[in-house]
Amino acid sequence: MDKVESHNSPLTINKQMFIEKLTKNGPVLDEMSPNHSLVTGDKVYVRVTITTDRNMEYVHLKDMRATTFEPVSQLSGYTFSDGLWYYKNITDTSTELFIRYLHKGTYVIEYPLFVTQSGDFTNGIATIQSMYAPEFGANSSGIRVSVGK
């Protein structure tokens, strides 16, 4: 999955990962580079950016995650973020969002994860697709994650 390249249509998706660093001025998010090694206990933020050039209904977003990551919030339910209402479903391997109305524009969704295991992992991709017009779909590129001891 880490070798998958991004694909876009009128609907686009971009996935970034950030490491939370604690500084004397408070927490700071540093973007993860491909050769960055995490350690167990790190707090990582996933940022998914969605852009669409038209209004859409019934859109499904699936963001896969590596075995090493555990979501901070384990609860599924309706959420409002960045002007967007969606149902968030937390599973063992992914976070899924079910969006009833996706209005034209750009939306940013973030959520935190904890690093729980050491090793080398494939984090997977984020995919988005209209449930009733499958030609409107996109996926992000894959990410490789290395966790030291």
DSSP class of residue 7 equals B
Give the pLDDT confidence of 90-123 residue by residue, as tens digits.
998 899 999 999 999 999 999 999 999 998 888 8
Q: C-alpha angle with apex 109: 146 to 30, nearest 5 degrees?
A: 40
- Percentage of residues in the chain having pLDDT higher than 70: 95
Tell me the pTM. Answer: 0.87
pLDDT score, position 3? 59
pLDDT score, position 6? 64
Checking if the pLDDT of 75 tops 80, the result is yes
Cα separation, 90 vs 48, in Å, equals 15
